[in-house]
Structure 1
């Protein structure tokens, strides 16, 4: 352990010595501190983090937690988790020792979170608030399990937010047709939204598609990858879950639309992405189309719900819908869309009546 002064730059440098998991001595150096006290504080906090001390600050705990998550989660998932923590949790709790954070502090944080607004100056959604609260609880559970924290303070305060939204937003076939006519001036927008509505695929899956993913004879598309943009770089990765890898049957008209669109792309190759766009672009196009057409505003992701709603209306079985959407199990599908089966119990009664009358 040492703290030295750089007299030329009038700054301080901290150098910490520690043993890694393999028993090897390592050193960590950080320069540029304005005072000797700042350098010593950094050194002390760094060693607490390395040793897994429950005296470490919440900000240090987050670094340890994120490093652990990096071995288990996709890059895009990690980026989303990091943004959520850095923007909604660390600013309030980061400087505090994890041992000192008590239920009263959590209550203050929850009240602060409930007062926050999104980029459109509207209150955060109840589902997003629930997600943030759950994330903080997960970090504290991590500290309890591995770093000697006695209790998770969130258990005393209870949760906030709701697991599900007030109501699911989706379009009928008629609403989609009205919308699609209004954005017919941009071929990539028209084809992309048509694929989303008639396949139920996720936006990231759509953006990763190449023409070689389509079987033009069987009228199917293979979902094997997902696209995201991370720190200015295009990332092609595995789909969200193992069941997300699937083959989706498509109406012949949609496949023909895709082929015609691809044939008009300049310098197109089968291995090139069909839609050289980002999720932000299609969000903007959704806004534009809703304004022009007058249909109610939904999210791009809600086209997936619209597809499920259409299939339910057509009498498609929950199992087939689950496989088509790439859900991990049929229970996920039933939990998400059970409210779209309003006549299910009446149908059971009618069938039982038929059994009785036929006996």
Structure 2
């Protein structure tokens, strides 16, 4: 699994029909699964707290419960994603049960029709045939790993049931054990000697 580059996820957001642009941002900006993105409601977006609650998903044009307890989660949201959500809400009125992303008749999109638009966007963006919505989730996970987030935090944000699932999927993206901790001893000695020197001067 090789994560998509940033230019590719942004190209997909620009290429897909505007009504579904937000779904792409929710995929690569928050790691949401397709059903979770299409099932997000305005009530679960907390702008002041800069977070969203994932509590349901869209399935066959309706909102249903999530498959696992781990999938139910609260995610911190970056400003760029919040701006996309706010812009979408200004352009499109919510659909059934306050769902943010709707089709042209203001219903919850079905997977088949959304899939058609997704494949068109993939082709328009010049990406390989077979590029999946799930690949946006890999982009999100790889970005968190590169930012040195604790693996347990990454597990919770992705909604994985176990840490083993996270490592099985993304273990190759974490730093090799041989590289971890290199420089830690030098930094510790340098810090402690500097502190000792300051204390002597103050005394």
Common fold: TM-score over 0.5? yes
Aligned residue in 2 for 1:120: none
1:356 & 1:236 partners in 2: Cα distance? Answer: 52
Which residue of 262, 278, 283 maps to 2:89? 262
Q: Work out whether residues 196 and 203 of structure 1, in 8 Å CA contact, stay in contact via their aligned partners in 2.
A: yes
Aligned residue in 2 for 1:315: 148
- How many residue pairs get aligned? The number is 184
Q: Work out whether residues 50 and 82 of structure 2, in 8 Å CA contact, stay in contact via their aligned partners in 1.
A: yes
* Alpha-carbon distance change, 289 to 334 in structure 1, aligned in 2, over 3 angstroms: same
TM-score, normalised via structure 1 length: 0.47
TM-score, normalised via structure 2 length: 0.79
| Aligned-pair Cα RMSD in Å | 2.5
Matched, 1:247 2:80: no
Shift of 1:351: 4.1
Aligned residue in 2 for 1:347: 179
Aligned residue in 1 for 2:111: 279
* Higher Rg: 1
2:55 & 2:188 partners in 1: Cα distance? Answer: 49
Q: Secondary structure at the match of 1:333?
A: helix
Which residue of 37, 47, 50 maps to 1:216? 47
Which string of whole-angstrom CA distances, capped at 9 and with x for unpartnered residues, describes residues 108-149 of structure 1?
A: xxxxxxxxxxxxxxxxxxxxxxxxxxxxxxxxxxxxxxxxxx
Q: Work out whether residues 219 and 249 of structure 1, in 8 Å CA contact, stay in contact via their aligned partners in 2.
A: yes
Shift of 1:249: 1.1
* Alpha-carbon distance change, 273 to 304 in structure 1, aligned in 2, over 3 angstroms: same
RCO higher in structure (CA 8 A, sep ≥6) = 2
* Alpha-carbon distance change, 223 to 269 in structure 1, aligned in 2, over 3 angstroms: same
Shift of 1:352: 6.4
Aligned residue in 2 for 1:195: 26
* Alpha-carbon distance change, 351 to 283 in structure 1, aligned in 2, over 3 angstroms: farther
* Alpha-carbon distance change, 296 to 311 in structure 1, aligned in 2, over 3 angstroms: farther
Q: Work out whether residues 223 and 245 of structure 1, in 8 Å CA contact, stay in contact via their aligned partners in 2.
A: yes
Q: Gapped runs of 5+ residues in structure 1?
A: 1-167
1:270 & 1:235 partners in 2: Cα distance? Answer: 9
* Alpha-carbon distance change, 353 to 216 in structure 1, aligned in 2, over 3 angstroms: closer
- Trace 1:24-63 onto structure 2 (pairs within 5 A): none
Q: Work out whether residues 282 and 300 of structure 1, in 8 Å CA contact, stay in contact via their aligned partners in 2.
A: no
